[in-house]
A and B are shown apart, each in its own frame.
Chain A
Amino acid sequence: MIDLSTLVLTLMWGAAIGCIYVLLATGLNLIFGVMKLVNFAHGELLMIGAYVGYSVLTLLGVNAYIAVFLSMGIVALIGVVVERLAFRRVLGSDKLNEIFVSLGLILIFDNIAVLVWGEKSQRIISPFENMSLRLGEVSISYDWLIAVAFVIVILIALLFLIKKTKIGMAMRATSQKSQASMLMGINIEHIYIFTFALGAALAGAAGVLYGIIFPFNPYIGALPTIKAFAIIILGGLGSIPGAIIGGLLYGIAEQSAVIFLGGIWRNAVAFSVLIIVLLLRPKGLFGEKGE
């Protein structure tokens, strides 16, 4: 029998995981919206972000939650390099080429991480390790709550950037009609670089938060990408509110499946959700426009 406390824990745990996926999915969504490019190696940026956070923590000894911002900056720089060297050159050619380049990047990032940090599982130790908020029978780790708060703050900042600033307006214009915005004097190349860096920065932040909650190794990147993908499809392409609702729903669905069906179903759930949604509603649950 499932009691109330298990249910509350499942919901909270699902929401915390879902939040990390929301960050990843938003970055992926942003890049897709503006560049019409799907970066299958996006989860690898999350993995690199987690390791950068880990290194910053051990080398400089800063607080784990300050490492989030440092990791965002460094991963954004990596994103710029990736965009310039790899994706820029296949953009607009056969769509399959983007998939191939992404796969090459997955191999490159995974193995660089193995060479630099080794294959052993690592964790980022947060200052609130082993501290939790007790609510009756349920105890909720502070780290989950802080992760949720962080995601909310980052998303609000992102929305502000996109809706209110000049570069955000240029990004929206480029996503609607890239050629027309080029004619209006927007430097599309710069917008592409900025968008990719922004998406990468979100992945970097997600990486450190992931590393605080879960242990990680160089091979964790692939599944979060797919889950982020499932969330984007669930929420509708190009819709940020959709991605947020989709992410939370998805995180809770995954945790429920683990509790009710067993651990080996954790990953199959992602795909079952993805496939069912694609079959029933190809535009997503909250999709505005189909691609």
Chain B
Amino acid sequence: MFTKEILFRKIQSTKFYIFIAVIAISAVIPLVVGDAFLIHVLTLMALFTIYASSWNLLASSGQGSLGHAAFLGIGGFVSSLLAINLGIPPIIGIFIGSVLSAGIGFLIGLTCVRLKAWFLAMVTFGFSVIAETLVSQFDDVTHGILGFRTPLLVPSGLYFYYFAVLLAALSVIAIYFIMKSKIGLTFRAIHQNESESRMIGINTAKYKLYAFVISTFFAGLAGGLYAHFLRYISVSVFAAGNSFKPLMMSVIGGLGTIEGPIIGAIIIVAIDSLLPNIDKFLQPALSPLFPAVSFVGPPLRFLGLGVFLVIVVIFLPKGVSSLLHKIHNYFREETKKANNIERK
């Protein structure tokens, strides 16, 4: 009854039509522009949509993780190692990887749910460094230091793209229903005021642990896909950059919303993959200004991202998606006004 109601409400909403439109567009785009590089970029966008959404789900319960790369790495390593050592097909392996990632997420969550925001950020960051150290330490089993070639999941190119879009759409739908359910409501209550939530009888530790497990499951899934997509995995997957990316995507897109991580993933992946194309024009113009550095493009880009992030947090705390909402509301008001005038 409850879910039926949600479904019914959902079908009526504009969001649903936008979601269908996005799926339709992402299905058609590669047929219109068959460029292999563009399909690579689009696949990355789909992968990072899963990853950023998983981070965003955790953040919606007030827990900002700085170590999500640990779960990306666990998902990737488990699936690739299972395929290589035991011959388990990657399509099953990625799900084993995500379940294992959720299991480790549960254990880490047990230590984290009682911590305040800053300590949680530090401790999660710490777990990703510890994961990196352990993978390097047991190199005989993991082959992590040099890295290795991962087996094929589905044929690369178009097939992989459609597979990634399918999984991204399913993940977003699953996360949507979790966020709309009572659990999601509880997450938001805990984020807004943890002690008051406890006062009205919410077992906050339990729900924060739920958030951890669900989030790390999807992060592990994204990790498995990522490893099989790049066809290579090494210990560098645990780098801090991979932990910060989903954060930037969610914050820039819109924290705690369902569309935020999607918009953020598209923006950040586009900046990461498409902007390097203008480097060769920037290089001759700017390199006399910065004699110390051989390539001015990458640091300038990261600098711009940092400034963008700070500006979004200060001036647009609900992210780029809140701008879209404002535009949407503005047009609705305008049409309402126009209708009223006609009626008069």
Contact = CB atoms under 8 A, between A and B. Distances in A.
Interface of A: 38, 40, 86, 89-90, 93-101, 103-108, 110-112, 114-119, 222, 226, 229-230, 233, 264-265, 267-268, 270-272, 274-275, 278-279, 282, 291
Contact of A108 (B130, B293, B303): B303
A216 to B, nearest CB: 14
Interface in B39-67: 59, 62, 64, 66
Which range contains the number of B residues in contact with the other chain? 35 or more
Nearest to B289: A115
A278 B115 contact: yes
A230 to B, nearest CB: 8
B102 interface: no
Given A101-B313, A115-B296, A40 B126 contact: no
Contact of A99 (B66, B130, B302, B308): B66
B302 A97 contact: no
Contact of B123 (A97, A110, A278): A278
A233 B119 contact: yes
B292 A117 contact: yes
Given A96-B62, A226-B122, A89 B306 contact: no
B129 interface: yes
Given A97-B313, A99-B118, A279-B111, A104 B306 contact: yes
B152 interface: no
A274 B136 CA distance: 21
B314 interface: yes
Given A226-B126, A274-B126, A89 B303 contact: no
Given A108-B310, A114-B299, 5 more contacts: A104-B307, A107-B302, A115-B292, A265-B133, A267-B133
Contact of B136 (A40, A119, A264, A278): A264
Given A100-B251, A115-B292, A86 B126 contact: no
A97 B244 contact: no
Interface of B: 59, 62, 64, 66, 111, 114-119, 121-123, 125-127, 129-130, 133-134, 136-137, 240, 244, 247-248, 251, 255, 290, 292-293, 296, 299-300, 302-303, 305-310, 313-314, 317
A95 B115 contact: no
Contact of B293 (A93, A114, A274): A114
Contact of A268 (B62, B133, B300, B303): B133
B162 to A, nearest CB: 34
A115 B133 contact: no
Contact of A275 (B66, B126, B136, B296): B126
B314 A101 contact: yes
A273 B59 CA distance: 25
Contact of A104 (B121, B126, B137, B313): B313
A107 B313 contact: no
Best-buried of B114, B292, B313 by chain A (most CB within 10 Å): B313
A105 B306 contact: yes
Given A108-B303, A115-B293, A278-B115, A100 B133 contact: no
B127 to A, nearest CB: 7
